[in-house]
Structure 1
Amino acid sequence: MKSIYQILLTCFIFAGIVACENETKVCDQTLRNDLHTHFKRDSLNIFRDTVMPKVTAYALGRDTIYRRQPLSDMYFQLSPIADSSRFYVKVDSAAVADTITFRYSRVKHFISPGCGFGTYFNLDTVIATMHTIDSVSINNKSVTSSNDTHLLLYFFVK
């Protein structure tokens, strides 16, 4: 009789661990709403999608996001506790680095009792130093999902 209870207890504990692990994965995916940026480059006065050869990017005062890899898109994680975030972006090892500042308002939203609250962002302003970046275009000001392209960065061929 004791062994049946031990087996049942083991099954309940294992089921609880699996359920918590699955809920954590769902929460992590639901809470992610990074600002999606896409690159465009001028070629004979026509802007086309492009891949930048050696992208290095990091949040100023925080860790590196991308380091020395070819990319056509970047995802910036905005701060849920501040109304702005600043990033260092260098798209080629021979290029001059740019700083991009995002100013936004934050809106808390309830996800579920297990996940708690997340943060949506409403992008107000984007400021770039324009060393290698030619211009910036906001596609979608509402950052509620990483699936949307929120920002286009335009570069000129040199």
Structure 2
Amino acid sequence: MTDKARNILVTTIVLLVSLYSCTQERQPCLTPRSASLRMRMVRKVTDSLTIDTATPNPFFRAVAAGGQQGYLYTSRSSFALSLSPVADTSMWLYSPDTAAGTLTDTIIFRYERQLQFISNACGYTYYYDLRSAATTSHTIDSVQIINSSVTSDASKNHIQVYIHPRP
């Protein structure tokens, strides 16, 4: 190797090492970025008393122009669904028991989107302000908005879904 080639190699290595040592390591995003709509299934016992109602094999399917996405859950009474960041309406199909072939209900959420800055490490996300919720009534009796502000706070429910009373 010639002296000129060796000098170029040494200069290149020194330059790369100095550039690498100057780069900052990006802080990881430790904050939840997505805002999920949380809903709870209940059944009225009396006018003032409700009980959580777990559905056996519930299935949710988002209906959108770009396609569909579905979630199959095990038996539970609380669910988290996503809202569209590009539209002011989201529509979900809900079946309480896929194994029994129950009728499907449609739930439509209307909301306003708000772009929210989280941090430099996490960037931006959308928060939502629920305006209304409507449903068909095959297995769902009604829906009620109990907290209209949908943020990344996982401790709050937003929608209460009342299941038809058992016959």
Query: Match of 1:42?
Result: 44
Q: SS at 1:62's partner residue?
A: strand
- For residues 154 and 83 of structure 2, the distance between their equivalents in structure 1, rounded to whole angstroms, comes to 11
- For residues 144 and 126 of structure 2, the distance between their equivalents in structure 1, rounded to whole angstroms, comes to 23
Question: Which residue identity is paired with 2:90?
Answer: S
Query: Match of 2:158?
Result: 150
- For residues 90 and 115 of structure 1, the distance between their equivalents in structure 2, rounded to whole angstroms, comes to 35
Mapped pair 1:91 → 2:69: no
- For residues 46 and 86 of structure 2, the distance between their equivalents in structure 1, rounded to whole angstroms, comes to 43
- For residues 44 and 115 of structure 1, the distance between their equivalents in structure 2, rounded to whole angstroms, comes to 45
Deviations 1:85-136 (A, max 9, x none): 1111111233211111100001111111222211110000101111110011
Mapped pair 1:141 → 2:148: yes
- For residues 75 and 68 of structure 1, the distance between their equivalents in structure 2, rounded to whole angstroms, comes to 11
Q: Which runs of 4+ in 1 moved over 2 A?
A: 42-47
| Count of equivalent residues | 143
Structure in which a larger fraction of residues adopt strand: 1
TM-score by length of structure 2 reads: 0.74
Query: Match of 1:53?
Result: 56
Mapped pair 1:64 → 2:70: yes
| Structure number, greater radius of gyration | 2
TM-score by length of structure 1 reads: 0.78
Deviation at 1:68, TM superposition (A): 5.1
Structure in which a larger fraction of residues adopt helix: 1
- For residues 96 and 45 of structure 2, the distance between their equivalents in structure 1, rounded to whole angstroms, comes to 17
